[in-house]
């Protein structure tokens, strides 16, 4: 890294924890502060959605601890992850908690920060580019477009128990938000689509699934709300994915600029 470029930025201190976002996939989307932290941290506790290329910026002697959480698979308990951050900080280490996307956007960064606060561990939040914005940009889908929408709703497709959140007013969202961006929604897509259509959304409304966004394994499925669940099953695509509902999806044919499958084919 350019030392002059990073010299004016904050530095990590022993016994402190930085909760940082790594962005949606492409290492180039790391912020300067996150990149600097990778090179300074004594211990890095990272998520499943962090591109391993980002970890190449870590010091050779840094402790790397995987703390990934993936639906339906054995995962670390959130309480254990939070307490591990406390333990490492109490040992005097400079600790980087690296998360995919942004730690405060469905990343449970707030929970970890509150645990650090309860144990009197100093912390810093380093925002990242959330997948619901950056991932869609890599698919050629703008979250807002003046001729389409002036508002967007971000929501999660499941709660801490793994089911569709019952506190979401699906009818109000269906009526009030022309563009809906959903995290962790693939598993319950049939149920969610039914709720949105019951709230007044058209069965022929455009939907896109962006899987492994901003990586060389990015795949995009464009369909409609009425066919979304069936087409998703037929596609064989699996999480992680961002789902977007709304007419902004129709801009993808014109704005698509990052097509790794086509790039690989052209290089062969």
Q: Kindly list the catalytic residues.
A: 47, 69, 184
Extract the tokens encoding 81: 């992850």
Residue with tokens 């698919």: 139
Token pair, residue 10, equals 């904050």
Residues in contact with 135: Cβ distance below 8 Å, sequence separation at least 6, in sequence order: 24, 25, 210, 213, 214, 242
**Residue indicated by tokens 């600029």:** 257
The 10 Å Cβ neighbour count of residue 55 is: 17
CA 55 remoteness from chain centre: 17
What is the DSSP annotation of 29-53? Answer: GS-HHHHHHHHH-SEEEE-TTS-GG
Instruction: Tell me 253's DSSP state.
Output: H
Give the three-state DSSP class for 71.
coil
> Edge-to-edge strand order for the sheet containing 206-211?
152-156, 179-183, 241-245, 206-211, 219-224
């Amino acid at each position: 890294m350019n030392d002059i470029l990073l010299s004016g930025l904050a530095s990590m201190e022993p016994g402190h924890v930085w909760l940082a976002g790594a962005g949606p996939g492409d290492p180039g989307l790391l912020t300067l502060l996150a990149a600097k932290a990778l090179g300074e941290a004594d211990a890095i506790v990272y998520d499943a959605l962090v591109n391993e290329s980002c970890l190449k910026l870590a010091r050779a002697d840094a402790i790397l601890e995987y703390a990934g959480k993936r639906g339906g698979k054995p995962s670390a308990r959130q309480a254990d992850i939070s307490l591990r951050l406390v333990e490492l900080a109490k040992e005097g280490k400079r600790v980087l908690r690296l998360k995919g996307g942004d730690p405060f956007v469905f990343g449970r960064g707030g929970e970890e920060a509150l645990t650090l606060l309860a144990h009197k561990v100093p912390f810093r939040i380093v925002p990242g580019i959330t997948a619901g914005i950056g991932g869609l940009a890599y698919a050629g889908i703008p979250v807002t477009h003046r001729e389409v929408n002036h508002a967007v709703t971000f929501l999660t497709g499941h709660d801490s128990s793994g089911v569709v959140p019952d506190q979401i007013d699906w009818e109000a969202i269906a009526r009030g938000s022309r563009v809906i961006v959903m995290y962790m929604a693939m598993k319950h897509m049939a149920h969610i689509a039914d709720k949105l259509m019951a709230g007044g959304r058209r069965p022929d409304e455009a939907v896109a699934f962006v899987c492994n966004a901003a990586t060389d394994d990015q795949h995009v499925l464009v369909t409609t709300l009425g066919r979304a669940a069936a087409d998703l099953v037929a596609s064989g695509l699996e999480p992680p994915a961002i789902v977007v509902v709304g007419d902004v999806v129709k801009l993808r044919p014109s704005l698509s600029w990052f097509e790794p499958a086509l790039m690989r084919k052209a290089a062969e």
